[in-house]
Amino acid sequence: MSFDLKSLMEQAKNLQAEIEKTQENLAQIITTGSAGADMVNVTINGANKVLKINIADEIYKTDNKKMLEDLIVAAVNNAYDNAQLEIKKEMGKIATDFPGIPKFM
């Protein structure tokens, strides 16, 4: 079995470029998480930045601050979980494009 260092270095360079391109694209991923039967919705991007929080008017009528806080936390966590799934899909494509590289996500 021969070891081709030049080929390996070229593949590593291509992999690095692909990872950088994918990281740029990840910020374009938009996901939404929800809680309380969609009473609270949180939208984030693939860079884990919260873009928008929507709270149903009915929640304000309950005058229950603790419930609202809990629903916001649950919706944010749900949005992050959804984003992570999308990120794993995108990063998995890199492993498919470079079959000699083990999956890292």
- Round to whole Å and give the CA distance between 43 and 34: 9
Residue-range domains of the chain with CATH: 5-97 (3.30.1310.10)
Average pLDDT for residues 52-73, to the nearest whole number? 93
Q: What is the pTM (predicted TM-score) of this model?
A: 0.72
The pLDDT score that the predictor gives to residue 105 is 47
* pLDDT tens digit sequence for 73-87: 999 999 999 999 988
How many Å is the Cα radius of gyration of the chain? 20
Instruction: Please state the three-class secondary structure of the chain as a single string.
Output: CCCCHHHHHHHHHHHHHHHHHHHHHHCCCEEEEEECCCCEEEEEECCCCEEEEEECHHHHHHCCHHHHHHHHHHHHHHHHHHHHHHHHHHHHHHHHHCCCCCCCC
Instruction: Identify which has the larger pLDDT, 97 or 12.
Output: 12
User: What is the mean predicted confidence (pLDDT) over 47-66?
Assistant: 92
Q: What is the pLDDT of residue 2?
A: 65
What pLDDT, in 10s, does the model give residues 21-52? 877 888 889 999 999 999 999 999 988 899 99
